[in-house]
Amino acid sequence: MRVSRSSEGIVLLRRIVRLWMLYIKGQLLMSLIIGLLTSLVGLALGLPYALYLGLLAGVLETVPNVGSLIALVPAVVVALWQGSRFIHVENWVFALIVLGAYLVVQQVGQLVIHPRIMGKRLDLPAFVVLLVVILGAAVGNIVGAYLAVPLVVTVRELARYVIRKVRKLPPFPDSDSSPPLDNGR
């Protein structure tokens, strides 16, 4: 049974939408992980309002490049203002400790966790994800960093489709691309 070009287009569009949804879900998972890590580190350091600051860090994690830096500011201000509940140092020293801890969490998130989560979900090597986000940021700033990965997987999906069509192979070998039967209705 031959599949029409329009139904192939629909299948292709569905596959691309699925990839974008996987990306969005990955971003939400990253927000959750960074929010939890930041909260746990804040609690361990005795940072007042650690849970709220972790929640803020998780929400801002969805803003590439600058979100994590924005989340850092209120944490350092709270550390300067109130100090630690556990570590007995001057507030400015505690603020430096919080700054360092936040930077470590952010770097681990951006350099280790994010590429692995996105790479696994979107079938891309972690290094490619990291490289694409850096290139996207260089070309298009925040928007470029945010859209780089889903655009790359979209281009990959389109290229796979075209290559398979040129080689006269089934366009979607890993799924059933035939339209559903209407059972005579």
Examine residue 57 and state whether it is found in any structural domain, yes or no: yes
The pLDDT, as a whole number, for residue 62 is 82
What pLDDT is attached to residue 168?
A: 87
Residue 125 counted as domain residue: yes
Question: Does a structural domain hold residue 171?
Answer: no
93 assigned to some structural domain? yes
Q: Which residues contact 45 (CB under 8 A, 6 or more apart)?
A: 84, 86, 87, 94, 97, 98, 101
pLDDT value, residue 181: 35
* pLDDT number for residue 175: 60
Count of structural domains within the chain:
1
Indicate whether 14 belongs to any domain.
yes
Within-domain flag for 140: yes
Q: Which domain holds residue 94?
A: 5-166
Q: What is the pLDDT of residue 64?
A: 67
pLDDT score at 179: 37
Task: Judge whether 56 and 71 are in contact, CB under 8 Å.
Answer: yes
Considering the domain boundaries, does residue 12 fall inside one?
Answer: yes
| pLDDT tens for the 185 residues of the chain, in order | 455 667 888 999 999 999 999 999 998 999 999 999 999 999 999 999 999 999 999 999 887 667 888 999 999 999 999 999 989 999 999 999 999 999 999 999 988 898 888 888 888 887 888 888 889 989 988 888 889 989 999 999 999 999 998 988 888 877 644 433 334 43
Quick one: pLDDT at residue 35? 96
Residue 173 lies in a domain: no
**Whose structure tokens read 């860090």?**
57
Alpha-helical regions (H) of the chain: 5-45, 50-60, 67-82, 91-108, 114-122, 126-166
